[in-house]
């Protein structure tokens, strides 16, 4: 009887553990940035709050950021979508999820925000601004670069101006510093083309340009080699013509077969009877 009770208790414990593992743990929202993994600096959190106020004032899609340690066996995109729903974010909001323990990230956005920033633009933002610094565990640099690129695309799509030149100055990263130097006067103010626009215009023909240049060099090099072979130095006599082919020797007359038997000479027919003399 005691063994049955212990077995039932162990079965109940296993069922409770499996049910607890089936439901991932979600952090509670704490403002525009929820740093539950504690990887972002205080200055960056202040800059993100300032940026959120400026986006809200300009009527642009707001950017929310969440960091977690682990996903509890959940898919990163499903986790981001579930967190977006749990926090009851607006239709024109965007949520960037960073899982530092598993080095994965994803974006969840409302339908209104996706009409302004399609999935292709959001994917390029993550690949171009976030990926390298995030995998290098430079979380301040990754979030700063992504936020600046995000504002650049929002300003271009909505036709508004959001100032970010005075934000994210405390980020000390070679990746973000090199990017910020080339983007100082473009993108964030809404004037000119953004980084993604210039990249799209040039990347489609880069491979074709390389192929054409290589083919042109091969043609020039081949023509040079051919001309070098045909060119004769000044004063040098022309090479003698090739010798004529020697005539073929006449075929000797075929020898006749030797005659081993001579033909028999025809002897006169002997006359055994002489004709009778007439009297």
Give the mean model confidence (pLDDT) for residues 28-33.
Answer: 94
CA–CA gap between residue 224 and residue 239 (Å, rounded):
22
Least confident of 17-26, 37-46, 98-107: 17-26
CA–CA gap between residue 178 and residue 199 (Å, rounded):
16
Q: Which of the four pLDDT bands, split at 50, 70 and 90, describes residue 148?
A: very high
Give the mean model confidence (pLDDT) for residues 72-77.
Answer: 94
Question: Does residue 198 carry a pLDDT above 50?
Answer: no
Between 106 and 11, the more confident residue is: 106
Question: Is the Cα dihedral 35, 37, 42, 47 positive or negative?
Answer: negative
pLDDT score at 243: 73
Domain membership of residue 235 (yes or no) is: no
Q: Above pLDDT 70, what percent of the chain?
A: 59
Domain membership of residue 14 (yes or no) is: no
Question: Does residue 19 carry a pLDDT above 90?
Answer: no
Domain membership of residue 106 (yes or no) is: yes
Domain membership of residue 4 (yes or no) is: no
pLDDT score at 227: 57
Q: What is the mean pLDDT of the chain?
A: 77
Between 186 and 48, the more confident residue is: 48
Which range has the top average pLDDT, 8-22, 157-171, 189-203?
A: 157-171
Give the mean model confidence (pLDDT) for residues 146-169.
Answer: 93
pLDDT score at 138: 95
CA–CA gap between residue 266 and residue 279 (Å, rounded):
35
HEC string for the chain:
CHHHHHHHHHHHHHHHHHHHHHCCCCCCCCCCEEECCCCCCHHHHHHHHHHHHHHHHHCCCCEEEEEECCCCCCCHHHHHHHHHHHCCCCCCCEEEEEECCCCEEEEEECHHHHHHCCHHHHHHHHHHHHHHHHHCCCHHHHHHHHHHHHHHHHHHHHCCCCCCCCCCCCCCCHHHHHHHHHCCCCCCCCCCCCHHHHHHHHHCCHHHHHHHHHHHHHHHHHHHHHHHHHCCCCCCCCCCCCCCCCCCCCCCCCCCCCCCCCCCCCCCCCCCCCCCCCC
Per-residue pLDDT tens over the stretch 42-72: 999 999 999 999 999 999 999 999 999 999 9
Q: First vs last Cα of the chain: how many Å apart?
A: 178
Domain membership of residue 255 (yes or no) is: no
What is the CATH number for 152? 3.10.310.50
Give the mean model confidence (pLDDT) for residues 158-162.
Answer: 93
Number of domains in the chain: 1
Domain membership of residue 278 (yes or no) is: no
pLDDT score at 192: 40
Domain membership of residue 15 (yes or no) is: no
Parent domain of 131: 25-203
Question: Does residue 191 carry a pLDDT above 80?
Answer: no
Domain membership of residue 216 (yes or no) is: no
Per-residue pLDDT tens over the stretch 221-276: 776 666 555 555 555 556 677 777 667 666 666 666 565 556 667 666 666 656 66
């Amino acid at each position: 009887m005691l063994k049955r009770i212990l077995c039932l208790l162990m079965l109940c414990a296993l069922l409770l553990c499996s049910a607890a593992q089936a439901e991932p743990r979600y952090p509670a929202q704490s403002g525009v940035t929820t740093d539950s993994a504690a990887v972002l600096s205080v200055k960056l959190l202040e800059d993100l709050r300032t940026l959120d106020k400026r986006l809200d004032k300009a009527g642009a899609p707001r950017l929310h950021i969440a960091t977690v340690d682990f996903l509890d066996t959940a898919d990163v995109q499903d986790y981001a979508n579930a967190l977006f729903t749990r926090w009851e974010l607006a239709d024109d909001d965007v949520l960037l999820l960073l899982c530092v323990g598993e080095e994965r990230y994803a974006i969840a956005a409302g339908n209104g925000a996706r009409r302004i920033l399609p999935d292709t633009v959001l994917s390029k933002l993550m690949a171009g601004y976030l990926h390298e610094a995030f995998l290098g565990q430079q979380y301040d640099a990754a979030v700063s670069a992504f936020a600046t690129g995000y504002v650049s695309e929002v300003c271009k799509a909505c036709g508004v101006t959001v100032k970010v030149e005075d934000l994210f100055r405390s980020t000390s990263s070679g990746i973000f510093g090199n990017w910020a130097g080339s983007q100082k006067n473009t993108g964030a103010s809404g004037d000119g083309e953004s980084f993604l626009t210039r990249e799209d215009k040039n990347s489609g023909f880069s491979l074709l340009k390389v192929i054409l240049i290589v083919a042109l060099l091969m043609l020039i090099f081949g023509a040079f080699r051919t001309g070098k072979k045909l060119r004769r130095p000044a004063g040098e006599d022309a090479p003698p013509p090739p010798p004529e082919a020697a005539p073929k020797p006449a075929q000797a007359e075929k020898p006749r077969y030797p005659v081993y038997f001579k033909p028999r000479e025809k002897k006169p027919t002997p006359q055994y009877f002489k004709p009778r003399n007439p009297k």
